[in-house]
Chain A
Amino acid sequence: MENLIFLTGTLLVYALAQTVQLALGKGLHVPEERVFLRKLLGTISALFHPVLVSVLVIMVILSLTHTPYEEYAKGTEGLTFLLAPSVVALGVPLYREWTKLKAEMGRILVTVTFGSLVGIFSSVLPALFWGAPLEVIFSLAPRSVTTPIAMNIAQATGGVPSLTASVVVATGIFGAVAGPVVLALLGKVEASVFGLSMGVASHGIGTARTLEMGTQEGAYAALGLCLNGVLTSMLVPGILPLCLFPPR
């Protein structure tokens, strides 16, 4: 019974958050001629990312009702379970753009390798300087790749897999919300630039956001997510221990 409440609640909160975002994006009932107000609402709607809103709302509800997270996690296992087949399903947009992607593979590999290294060291270096414990450092290192892969890496290196999962999601939400704004700093960019950087920096949630922009952008994001997952899986266990404990 209670298990069903968590699943039902999550679905309803998410659906509601999505409706609110959609309504804001459409400019509510503000008349067409008030361009500025409509633009402002459009910007606000990007902040109302359904994952961000749902996570915050559910956190508040769980704290208020003193519900332990473990109980909630058990009740929503079904949703988490669907992550893995969804990653497999990304093979479809990948295939659709394959002929185009194949011709650019050299360039894409350079970008993803660089992005993967930046992703790892931008999480590890500040934590090192801050003197964070090793378990936290190793939980942060794989934060840019999708949850199942990141948890594997954390497990293998001595991080806390469930802490990694949460940090991964926070990274994804931040990337999905702020990514388009940050990338706008570079001016109008190609679909490949947008998609790859979103996929590399904010994995599945960023890819879902990118799919809204178009199939082409989405395919680059899926490829970025996929290659980054593979590279980070090798780079974190491979080079991180060497950097942290240099052989004398």
Chain B
Amino acid sequence: MNQPKVNQPKSIDTSRLLAGFGVIFLFLILGQGVSRFFRLPVSGSVIGMVLLSLALGSGILPLTLVEDASKLLLQHLSLFFVPAGVGLLAYGPLLKENWMPIALAIVGGTMVTLLGAAGIHLLLLRNGRPTDHTEEV
């Protein structure tokens, strides 16, 4: 086995973990505030994500503070979607009458979107100029 064992023996600093959760919630509140104040159609959590990465990038926030808390949340991100998924159960009649377009959108639409996004990005990568010529935003 030649797996890198860099992160393995590190024990988790639980008080830093708690502080990390605090910081993440703080950015959620900030994001919600920004979203509400400017009446943006984007939800507070996404704005919070952007603000968090900006704070890390500018050096205001040290990565070590939020690293563990973010890892804990992201490792089991899919768990938090389970209740909403079970919610399909609550739409019996609406689903029964419209199951075909809904199924088409979920199965066909997702495949088309995957291939569409991957296809155009491949095209841009293969036909594009080298990275140092691309425009910066």
Contact = CB atoms under 8 A, between A and B. Distances in A.
Interface of A: 10-11, 14, 49-51, 54-55, 58-59, 62-63, 69-70, 72-73, 76-77, 79-80, 82-95, 98, 102-112, 114-115, 118-119, 122-123, 126-127, 130, 132-133, 136, 140, 143-144, 146-149, 152-153, 156, 160, 162-163, 165-176, 178-179, 182-183, 185-186, 189-190, 192-194, 196-198, 200-202, 204-205, 207-209, 211, 222, 224, 226, 229-230, 233-234, 237
A111 B128 CA distance: 13
The A interface is mostly helix, strand or loop, or mixed, namely helix
A58 B117 contact: no
Interface residues of B, number: 77
Given A73-B87, A169-B85, A136 B94 contact: yes
Given A91-B52, A165-B84, 15 more contacts: A59-B88, A62-B89, A69-B89, A82-B73, A88-B31, A92-B66, A93-B74, A122-B109, A144-B109, A166-B85, A166-B87, A208-B78, A211-B74, A226-B50, A230-B46
B126 to A, nearest CB: 10
A158 B95 CA distance: 17
**Among all A-B residue pairs, the 3 with the closest Cβ atoms:** A91-B52, A115-B117, A122-B109
The B interface is mostly helix, strand or loop, or mixed, namely helix
Given A85-B73, A90-B49, A130-B101, A196 B121 contact: yes
Interface in B87-115: 87-91, 94, 98, 100-102, 104-115
